[in-house]
Amino acid sequence: MKEIRFSKHSQDKIDILARHGMTISKQFVLEIITNPDKIETQQDSKIIAEKPFNDNLVIRVVYRQFNAFILIITLYPARRNRYEKNHL
């Protein structure tokens, strides 16, 4: 697997979410990009990988793949019902 790099913004986002009581480990972020439940590609070559966090939320990780590494750009929680059509 390619080297994984976290942008300063993505590291800051992990810290901000932790201060709000939402602990997301770098290991969980790696799990999301290596084994996503859902993946989207965008025109600007960004990829969004998604995995459930709890009953109500998913974590979405935005990243780019380069020849030598993968760059985690940002991550954010989102309501499951917004992105999962089959979730009640």
88 falls in which pLDDT band (50, 70, 90)?
A: very low
Distance CA 46, CA 75 (A): 12
pLDDT in tens, 44-87: 899 999 999 999 999 999 999 999 999 999 999 999 888 766 54
Q: What does the pLDDT read at residue 86?
A: 56
Q: At what angle do helices 26-34 and 8-19 cross, to 10 degrees?
A: 120
Domain 3-83 bears CATH identifier 1.10.1060.10: no
Distance CA 23, CA 46 (A): 24
CB 28, CB 20: distance < 8 Å: no
